[in-house]
Amino acid sequence: MSFLIGENMTCGYGGADILHSCSVGVDPGEIAVVVGPNGAGKSTAMKAMFGMLHLGEGRVMLDGTDISQLKPQERVLHGMGFVPQNNNVFTSMTVEENLEMGAFIRRDDISGTMAQVFDLFPVLKDKRRQPAGELSGGQRQQVAVGRALMTQPRILMLDEPTAGVSPIVMDELFDRIIQVAQTGIAILMVEQNAKQALNIADKGFVLVQGRNAYTDTGAALLADPEVRRAFLGG
């Protein structure tokens, strides 16, 4: 059983269910990637695991305890960090203030963590007095990831971190994400760029219409001819 696992999750946004008994999990130091066609329920699975949706069935387990009933804010306190797909930075605030707000729940000294984030994303250090809304798409994503890292999470959940950024920036972001995983943080992310994402993934979950279609290591999924044909464009 994984460190963080969403088991047999069934839920939706009122009305019809989007997820049907879908399971996703990740372990520390690992990168788990959720891929699948549009409307497969990838983002929904993330939201369900972070407590932004009420689970009809199933449960979310963190380190062996059931956290299904916790609110998103409480899950942050339990060491989960979440980077939403859209509106994931405070646009009118400076980069530094964004990071400070990420660490809002912490009462201790945050300068060390901030230095780590600046080490990870050196460009942010240069722009730390600039409003986050004035940054490029890729830089914004870095701010968003940095903000989530400020709580020193044990698990970082990313909802399409590379949406709308150029391929070069995407590669760089993936490199950074690998770096974060190497520090022992569990990373669970949804990706539109399935091939590149599975390349760096330890674990891959292919969802189709809210169900687990294929689950395997990233490399195995990439090698699977059926997955390749159906989802990765040959």
Binding site for another protein (CB under 8 A): 72-73, 76-77, 82, 84, 87-93, 97, 100-102, 104-105, 131-134, 147, 151
Residue whose CB is less far from another protein, 61 or 93: 93
CB of 188 to another protein, least distance (A): 15
CB of 79 to another protein, least distance (A): 12
Residue whose CB is less far from another protein, 91 or 166: 91
Distance CA 75, CA 106 (A): 14
Instruction: Give whole-number Cα distances, 128 to 7, 93, 226, in Å.
Output: 40, 10, 46
Residue whose CB is less far from another protein, 37 or 131: 131
Residue whose CB is less far from another protein, 93 or 222: 93
CB of 105 to another protein, least distance (A): 4
CB of 202 to another protein, least distance (A): 26
